[in-house]
């Protein structure tokens, strides 16, 4: 059976809303999803996140947008990596379904969610991004410890 990946359908079926917010200071829609997601999760400026990313990249020799750099930055702020969630029947969760796993405290603090080739933010019950990725399968996610 083919899954319906209509973002509007998912936003109606699940409690997580979607807010189109571009924290890029020039409002560019570019390949900066890691920077935007970290900015939204931590509530610090885009420029501060870029500075952290470049500092970590210089220390580790990984790309600024790499998973390794993102994880090191989040760890500095007390965030821990969670394994890819699975339902009782073994199927994977979609971003729109994460409200079934996340506590109010987690959503208040912000959650960085990794999907295929993209990072996004869930905060206060909303997916915050420049496009609605609610229908994407969740990889790892990061919550404040």
The separation between CA 89 and the C-alpha centre of its own chain, rounded to angstroms, equals 24
19's torsion region: left (phi>0), alpha (psi -120 to 50) or beta? Answer: beta
CA distance readout (Å), 124 to 29, 45, 96, 120:
23, 18, 13, 14
Total domains, the chain = 1
Q: Which domain holds residue 84?
A: 7-144
Stated pTM of the model: 0.89
For residue 2, being part of any structural domain is answered with: no
Structure tokens at 4: 């319906």
For residue 46, being part of any structural domain is answered with: yes
Q: What would the pLDDT profile of 56-101 be if each residue is shown by its tens digit?
A: 999 999 999 999 999 999 999 999 999 999 999 999 999 999 999 9
Q: Are strands 79-82 and 126-129 parallel, antiparallel or unpaired?
A: unpaired
For residue 11, being part of any structural domain is answered with: yes
Q: What would the pLDDT profile of 116-136 be if each residue is shown by its tens digit?
A: 999 999 999 999 999 999 999
For residue 82, being part of any structural domain is answered with: yes
Structure tokens at 130: 């420049």
Residue from 116, 109, 120 nearest 144 by CA: 109
């Amino acid at each position: 059976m083919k899954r319906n990946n209509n973002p509007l359908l998912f936003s109606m079926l699940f409690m997580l809303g979607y807010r189109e917010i571009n924290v890029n200071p020039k409002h560019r829609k570019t390949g900066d999803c890691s920077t935007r997601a970290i900015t939204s999760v931590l509530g610090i400026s885009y420029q501060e996140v870029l500075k952290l990313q470049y500092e970590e990249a210089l220390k580790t020799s990984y790309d600024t947008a790499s998973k390794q750099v993102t994880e090191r930055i989040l760890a500095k702020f007390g965030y821990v990596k969670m394994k890819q969630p699975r339902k009782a029947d073994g199927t994977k969760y979609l971003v729109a379904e994460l409200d079934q796993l996340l506590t109010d405290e987690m959503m208040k603090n912000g959650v960085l969610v990794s999907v295929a080739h993209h990072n996004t933010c869930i905060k206060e019950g909303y997916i915050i991004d420049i496009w609605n990725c609610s229908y994407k399968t969740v990889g790892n996610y990061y919550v404040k410890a």
